[in-house]
């Protein structure tokens, strides 16, 4: 265990001032929630915004709404390498998971395989993920999906604030979600945003979201304590402390479709105050760090040329035999190099026997070879140089 400066793999700083805004918005309640919704609608130029307690709730609500519009379709195509919350939300919505293999060079769909996956006539929607904030090719997915009557859900859980070709991520598909969870592009400890410019989808989402309960005082107290703890403990000088506590299970990924589904609390809306400027600043800082790593010879396994993305981590494929050593060395030095999802969707034990489609060998390779490098505001240029040196030296070592 390391005691001393340790970088978290991803972070959005929360200040004491934002916690005070949270308390003030808690007092104004629904008015604050309505203000945040209006700000989001205007910024994104969409007709509909819903605020919920997590990204996975947002996805479940979206899927429930789509299912209501096309009850005869029950398959959901998702990337075979993505956050476990995605298949968990599909399961929670009572739909079937159809994983499609990914291209290791982009982490987007393997387009050759996607064509076949969309052809059963029972596919309700395809979920496109901007992993780590690197833009997925949503236009290409729409070209394949829309003529078949398949909705495109943009999973922008990790990508709020990014733009591609002058268009905002979150407005590229038929409907989108952002996560406001810890370690995402922008954070209010937890939370989820649904947006769409399609009134029919917006109405269906409103119907599906209306029944969700409001947060209670217990939820607020927990979030409040969590926000206070995070505002201190994500700093590199203190992060070794939560990292050393095994019961916090930091960085652990579990498949669990029994998550709580509620509306977003007013305290969290207050934590988001000033989000437009903060998001722009975060995006600028992270992008500068990603460019620094590229110049230092570290190659991301996803592309962002021509985009202004909000990159939350820098994904790198490394030699499977060397990955463990790389992580150990990073842990010793507190550099924040991290593993991502432990397996492909096709390897999730709880889903065995329920998945549609075939194997996803490329996604399984990615799961064995991927690491992520930190890009958040606490990462210094000196850290980046040490991270690049570490990667280059491990990559240069012969054998195991």
Residue ranges that bind ligand PLP, judged by CB under 6 A? 54-56, 82-83, 85-86, 129, 155, 157-158, 179, 181, 192
State the residue number with the nearest CB to ligand PLP.
55
Min dist CB 322 to ligand PLP, Å, is 26
When the beta carbons of 72 and 252 are compared against ligand PLP, the nearer one is 252
Tokens of 247: 């019961």
Min dist CB 177 to ligand PLP, Å, is 7
Min dist CB 99 to ligand PLP, Å, is 14
When the beta carbons of 334 and 347 are compared against ligand PLP, the nearer one is 347
299 contacts: CB under 8 Å, gap ≥ 6? 316
Contact 47, 197 (CB under 8 A): yes
Min dist CB 261 to ligand PLP, Å, is 10
- Helix and strand numbers (H, E) in the chain are 14, 12
DSSP code per residue over 64-129: HHHHHH-TT--EEEEESSS-THHHHHHHHTT-EEEEE-B-TTTSSB-HHHHHHHGGGS-EEEEEEE
When the beta carbons of 82 and 231 are compared against ligand PLP, the nearer one is 82
d(CA 339, CA 365): 13
When the beta carbons of 186 and 292 are compared against ligand PLP, the nearer one is 186
When the beta carbons of 372 and 388 are compared against ligand PLP, the nearer one is 372
When the beta carbons of 55 and 202 are compared against ligand PLP, the nearer one is 55
DSSP code per residue over 365-397: HHHHHEEEEE-STT--HHHHHHHHHHHHHHHHS
Could you give the C-alpha distances from 142 to 69, 160, 174, 175, 354, in angstroms and in order? Answer: 18, 20, 9, 12, 26
Min dist CB 172 to ligand PLP, Å, is 15
Min dist CB 329 to ligand PLP, Å, is 26
Min dist CB 251 to ligand PLP, Å, is 13
Helix 275-295 with 381-396: angle, nearest 10 deg:
40
Min dist CB 86 to ligand PLP, Å, is 5
Could you give the C-alpha distances from 189 to 67, 143, 255, in angstroms and in order? Answer: 29, 36, 20
Contact 267, 261 (CB under 8 A): no
d(CA 396, CA 398): 6
The continuous run of DSSP H or E covering 175 comes out as strand 175-179
When the beta carbons of 181 and 309 are compared against ligand PLP, the nearer one is 181
When the beta carbons of 173 and 334 are compared against ligand PLP, the nearer one is 173
342 contacts: CB under 8 Å, gap ≥ 6? 253, 367
d(CA 268, CA 18): 9
Tokens of 87: 């298949």
Min dist CB 258 to ligand PLP, Å, is 13
When the beta carbons of 367 and 391 are compared against ligand PLP, the nearer one is 367
When the beta carbons of 118 and 176 are compared against ligand PLP, the nearer one is 176
246: three-class secondary structure by DSSP: helix
Supply angle C-alpha 275, 234, 232, rounded to 5.
90
Min dist CB 152 to ligand PLP, Å, is 15
Distance of CA 236 to the CA centre of its chain: 22
């Amino acid at each position: 265990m390391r005691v001393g400066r340790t970088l978290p793999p991803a972070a959005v700083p929360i200040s004491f001032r934002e916690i005070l805004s949270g308390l003030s918005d808690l007092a104004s309640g629904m008015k604050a929630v309505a203000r945040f919704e209006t700000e989001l609608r205007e910024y994104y130029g969409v007709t509909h915004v819903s605020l919920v307690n997590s990204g996975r709730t947002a996805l479940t609500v979206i899927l429930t709404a789509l299912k209501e519009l096309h009850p005869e379709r029950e398959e959901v195509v998702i990337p075979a390498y993505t956050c476990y919350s995605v298949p968990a939300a599909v399961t929670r919505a009572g739909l079937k998971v159809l994983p499609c293999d990914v291209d290791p060079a982009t982490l987007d769909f393997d387009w050759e395989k996607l064509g076949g996956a969309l052809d059963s006539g029972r596919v309700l929607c395809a979920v496109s993920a901007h992993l780590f904030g690197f833009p997925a090719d949503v236009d290409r997915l729409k070209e394949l999906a829309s003529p078949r009557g398949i909705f495109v859900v943009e999973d922008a859980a990790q990508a709020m604030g990014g733009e591609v070709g002058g268009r905002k991520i979150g407005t590229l598909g038929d409907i989108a979600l952002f996560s406001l969870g810890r370690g995402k592009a922008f954070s209010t400890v937890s939370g989820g945003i649904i947006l769409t410019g399609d009134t029919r989808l917006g109405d269906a989402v409103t119907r599906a979201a209306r029944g969700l309960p409001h947060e209670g005082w217990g939820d607020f107290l927990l979030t409040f304590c969590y926000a206070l703890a995070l505002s201190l403990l994500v700093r590199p000088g203190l992060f070794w402390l939560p990292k050393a506590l095994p019961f916090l299970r930091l960085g652990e990924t579990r498949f669990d479709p029994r998550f709580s589904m509620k509306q977003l609390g007013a305290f969290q809306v207050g934590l988001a105050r000033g989000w437009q400027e903060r998001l722009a600043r975060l995006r600028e800082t992270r992008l500068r760090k990603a460019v620094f790593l590229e110049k230092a010879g570290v190659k991301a396994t996803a592309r962002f040329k021509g985009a202004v993305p909000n990159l939350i981590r820098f994904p790198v494929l490394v030699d499977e035999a060397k990955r463990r050593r790389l992580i150990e060395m990073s842990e010793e030095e507190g550099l924040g190099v991290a593993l991502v999802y432990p397996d492909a969707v096709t390897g999730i034990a709880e889903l065995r026997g329920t998945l549609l489609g075939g194997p996803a060998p490329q996604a399984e390779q990615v799961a064995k070879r991927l690491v992520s490098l930190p890009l958040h505001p606490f990462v210094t240029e000196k850290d980046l140089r040490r991270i690049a040196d570490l990667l280059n030296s491990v990559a240069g070592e012969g054998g195991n």
